[in-house]
Structures are given as C-alpha cells and as structure tokens.
Amino acid sequence: MKFKNLYTFLNKDLDVIEQELEDVVQSSYPMLSEAGLDMLQAGGKRIRPVFVLLSGMFGDYHIDKIKHVAVALEIIHMATLVHDDVIDDAELRRGRPTVKARWDNRIAMYTGDYLLAKSLEQMTALEDPLAHKILSKTIVDVVIGEIEQLKDKYRYEQTMKDYLKRIKRKTAILIATSCQLGAISAGTDPQLHKKLYWFGYNVGMSFQIIDDILDFTSSEKQLGKPVGSDLLQGNITLPVLIAMEDRNLKNEIMKISSDTKPDEIKPIIDAIKKSGAIEKSYDVSNRYLNKAFALLNEMPSNKARSTMHSIAKYIGKRKI
C-alpha cells in the first residue's frame, strides 16, 4: 500500500492545494519562481497539508478557507528545507539537485526567505489571532531548534532528552501545528484542536525516529544519500544513543569526528545494527504512536479519524 492510497478521497482538494502552491511560489523574479516550482515538481509527501485538511474535517470544512492554511504549512516546510540544505551543504533533495546546488547559497537563502514570507501572506486569509500566535511560536521554535542542534553535533555525552527536544523542534512541532491550525480554521472547540495538536506531535516524533532508523537500515538508493550519513555528520540520533549504552561500542562511536571518511564508519554502522538498538528505537517510536492512537480514540469518529489512524500506522512501518 502506498502512502497516497490512504487518502484518495482527498485527491480533489489536494489538487486545489497543488495549484495554489504553484501560484504562490510564482514571483516576478524568474529565478525565485523557477526554484520554487522545481522543488514542487520534485514531489514530497505533502504530509503537512494532508494533516491540515484531515484535522479541518473535525469542524466546519471549507476548502476555500482551509487551503490557505494547508498551503502556508507546506511552504514553511519548503523554506526550512531550502535553508537546511545550505546549512548542511546538501547536493540532493527529493532526488534532485538542491536550490543551493543548482544556483548557489545566496539564491537559496533568498528563496527560503521568499517562501517564508509567502507562507505568512497566505495565513493572512485567516482572521484569528490565536492561529497567528501558534504559527509564529512554531516558526520561532523551529529556528531555535536549528541553532541549538549545532551544539549537539559530535557531542557524545548528550542525553535522550536532548535528542527528543531536537526532533520535537525539527519535525514534530510543524506537524502538530498543521493539525491544530487545520482544526482552528474549521472552528473546532479548543479541547479538540489541542488534542489534534498532541496527535500531530506524537505522530511527528515517531516520524522522525523512523527517519533516523532508516538512515541505518535503508539503502543508499532509497535514501538518496549514503547509509549512516547522519552519524558521519555528527548527528547523534536515537539508534546511536541506544547503541552507546554498550561501553565498547560507545568507545568506537566516539572516535567519529568531522575528519572521519565515509568508509571508516561502515563497521560501526554494522555494529549498531547488530546491537539491538534498531529494535529498541522502534519500541520508542511505537510508544509515541500508541499515544497518538489513544488521542484519536478520544475524538469524534469520522472518516478523517480513521484515515489519521491509517496514516499513523503507515508512518510507524514506512520503509522510505
């Protein structure tokens, strides 16, 4: 089963979102339009717009209103990716050359800034100070997270708490906010939009943990980058933190630095895979997913709820 097949009833509305996305990234500066359109054409799962729409279905759903929120969230996501590829000096994204690779760092920064500004412009369609307050706090948290993660690179004494805080800011918050703002724009009561926020948060945490597991268990072809890239770049993820509970393995892992060559980490990747750390990481992911399922059970039963359940289940088992 493919991810997109879980929500075919949304296809018509997702086509509207896709068209809006294309319109929104256009600019009188051809280079900005080209960079934005190139990213859109490269695809992406559009998870955030899907969660906006599904959450809106718990309230008074109107595509003409909610589309602005769905577009804003996807465009903020795109802006973070363009900037992140500058910070990480990444050549490929969604299987294509990144904006910074195709043009240069300066143009990538402009593109990211432009996308962020356009997303805020989209949000002005929503006359609700609470929605704007939530979104600005989210953006601040994502940016702070990106700055703080620098200090955690190659820092082998960091704790599980440091890791969880990092992935919350990097991934879970934007998914949580997608759910909450979808619900708010459809006028749901506060109790429900807060529950949807926490549903999105738990799914987002699981999503990032699985991403971090796949960095070890997937193939170079599927990842579009070498296996173990996170570790090589000093990004200490959950499988690594768990593997470091073994003293000997920790000593090996701690030898990895910015001077380490890709081939040198291959035996360490194998040792991490054999250590049981992957299975234990899946257990942590499942704990978040179970919280997400429990929250769904407290919500009104409808098609959106069952689809969110299927998506969360899929996320926990995804291979790419």
The nearest distance, CB 74 to ligand GRG, in angstroms, is 8
The nearest distance, CB 301 to ligand GRG, in angstroms, is 27
Q: Which is nearer to ligand GRG, 140 or 254 (CB)?
A: 140
Q: Which is nearer to ligand GRG, 164 or 299 (CB)?
A: 164
- Could you identify the residue written with the tokens 């294509």? 96
**Vertex 258: Cα angle to 270 and 214 (nearest 5):** 35
Return d(Cα 57, Cα 297) in angstroms, integer: 16
282: Cβ contacts below 8 Å, ≥ 6 apart: 213
The nearest distance, CB 247 to ligand GRG, in angstroms, is 32
Q: Which is nearer to ligand GRG, 94 or 165 (CB)?
A: 94
Q: Which is nearer to ligand GRG, 42 or 271 (CB)?
A: 42
**Vertex 167: Cα angle to 161 and 170 (nearest 5):** 140
The nearest distance, CB 250 to ligand GRG, in angstroms, is 26
Q: Which is nearer to ligand GRG, 4 or 155 (CB)?
A: 4
Cβ-based neighbour number of residue 66 at 10 Å: 28
Q: Which residues bind ligand GRG (CB under 6 A)?
A: 44-45, 47, 76, 79-80, 83-84, 87, 94, 112, 116, 139, 142-143, 146, 170-171, 208
The nearest distance, CB 307 to ligand GRG, in angstroms, is 17
The nearest distance, CB 164 to ligand GRG, in angstroms, is 15
Question: Is residue 194 classed exposed, middle or buried when 0-12, 13-18 and 19+ CB atoms within 10 A define those classes?
Answer: middle
Q: Which residues of 133-147 are buried (b: 16+ CB within 10 A; e: fewer)?
A: ebbeebbebbeebbe
Q: Which is nearer to ligand GRG, 25 or 268 (CB)?
A: 25
Q: Which is nearer to ligand GRG, 37 or 87 (CB)?
A: 87
Three-class SS state of 92? strand
Contact yes or no for 14/49 (Cβ under 8 A): yes
| Nearest residue (beta carbon) to ligand GRG | 44
**98 φ, ψ to 5°?**
-70, 165
The nearest distance, CB 9 to ligand GRG, in angstroms, is 21
**135 φ, ψ to 5°?**
-65, -40
Contact yes or no for 124/151 (Cβ under 8 A): no
